[in-house]
Every structure is written in C-alpha cells, then in structure tokens.
Amino acid sequence: MSVILQISDTHFGTEQAAVMEALLACAWQLQPDLIVLSGDVTQRARPEEFAAAAAFLARLPPVPLLPVPGNHDIPLFDVLTRLRDPFRLFRDSFGAQLEASRSLPDVFVTGVNSVQPWRHKRGALSLEQVDAVAERLRRAGPGLMRIVVVHHPPDVHDAGDIGDIVGGAAQAVRAWARAGADLVLSGHVHVPLCRPLALRYGTDAGACWVAVAGTAISSRVRGGHPNSVNVIRVDPFAGQARRVLEQRDFDPARQAFRVVATRALSGEALAVMGR
C-alpha cells in the first residue's frame, strides 16, 4: 500500500502556528510514503519564508518529497530577479529540478512547472512541457497509478475561478489522459475539488481525475473553506488496486485535521463514501 500526502499553498509568511502543529501531527500519524508540495510554499518568495518552510519540512516524517513551484514562489517586487533567475530561492531550498518524478511500488508521480514569471499569477503549460510529461507517464511501469502534480489547476470548483485554470489545460488533459494519467494534483485557488476531468473536458479526459487542495496552513482561506490537505491511498482490494482520496480539513474545535470526504478514484461518476 502507498500513502501520499498532498500539501499545497502553505504561503509561509502567513502560516498559522496551531494549524501547522496539527498538520505535523497528521503527517506523523499517516506515515506517508511520499509528500507532495503543490506550490505557493511561500507568500512573497523571501529568504526568511523559504527558511521557515525548510524548518517545517525538517519536522515532517523523513520521506521523499516532490515539490513544484507556485506563482508566489518567485519574487513579486524584485522584477530583475524575477526575469533573470526567478526560481533561485526555490531551487536552493528544494533542489535544482523543478519537474521531478518519484516512483513508489504502485504509483508513479511526476511534476510540471506551470509558473510563468512574466505573467506571475496565471500559469501556463507549453506544448513541450505537455509532451514531456506524457512521455514520462508512458514510460512508467505497467499497473502503476499515474499522477501529475502542477500548481495551477486544470479545473476549478467556482465559476469565478475559471480564469485560474492553467493555460494549455485542454491539450494537457488530452495528452496526459492518452498517456495513462489517473489523477492531476493541483492547488492555487484555495478551494478544494475532486472530480473526474471528463466533467469539464468530456471524453478527451478519459478516466483521469483532478484533486485541488485548499491552503494547508495559511490564514489566506477563501469562501468559508477551512485549511485542508489531501491524502491519496493505493492498496490491494479484491484482487485490484483500490485508489482513494481523502480530504482532511482542519477542525478548530479539535485542533486537528480530520477526514471530511473520501472519494473512490475511478472512471465512473463521483463516489462519495463518507463525509
């Protein structure tokens, strides 16, 4: 069985201490095999914010990490640095590779960088990036669940967030679905979502799902949605691999993250098994 913890939009510089401690407790209880950081690790890409993020990550269980940058992880006001070397502090903190891959016994996960420094907020994917991700998905071993991690989402819950859908989403969804993608993990909008991509893209999306995580520990919550993270579980069941996503929200009364929804990830319609 593999367990993946998705943490998104921590926005260090706006972190809440109590929520951060609750997330640490949740992570140690879960003992995940992989932790995914789906962007916006910092609020303003300042050195002290990256240092705070590194200190937090050092307190998490010592498991592999797959980070991708978000638009808040490049300088906003330092235009010269944004143009010359926008990801320097991110690379210094998390390694030189911005589009890394990780393999577990039953899951292949690959990241792609949707941040466009000259646009800053709205993300986009080039045709070259889309094709490179598709090729990595095709090369993954047989029988594996295939997951793509990108900060800007290919789908959103609220109509007002349509403009935040990553540029090139339609071609990316089509290419990745053909290459066997099962799930796209994203963040950015701070509003959780988990549903088949076919609801937006039709048959081009195949059986691929999207899961957008809320903000994990930041005070920058939106629309009444609390801090939240996602947990992906893959385990054998009745001779097949069962793939499940849990949405865990921060409960202020309990000072803990608790499961609020569990969804079976399949090509069929959304199956809510618990809430």
pLDDT, mean of each 10-residue run, the chain (275 residues): 97 98 98 98 96 97 97 83 84 94 97 87 95 98 94 96 96 98 98 97 97 98 96 81 94 98 74 35
pLDDT of residue 121: 82
Pairing, β 256-264 against β 65-68: unpaired
pLDDT of residue 239: 63
Residue whose structure tokens are 């309990």 = 254
- pLDDT tens-digit profile of 210-229? 999 999 999 999 989 999 99
- pLDDT tens-digit profile of 16-43? 999 999 999 999 999 999 999 999 999 9
Residue whose structure tokens are 């808040």 = 72
115: CB partners within 8 A, 6+ apart = 39, 69, 70, 71, 73, 74, 86, 87, 123, 151, 152
156: CB partners within 8 A, 6+ apart = 162, 164, 165, 189, 191, 193, 212
* Spatial separation of the C-alpha atoms in residues 58 and 162, rounded to whole Å: 35
Considering the chain, what is the average pLDDT of its residues? 93
Q: How many domains does the chain have?
A: 1
| pTM attached to this predicted model | 0.94
- CATH of residue 175: 3.60.21.10
Phi, psi of 131 (to 5 degrees): -65, -40
* Residue span of the structural domain in which 238 resides: 2-274
Phi, psi of 133 (to 5 degrees): -65, -45
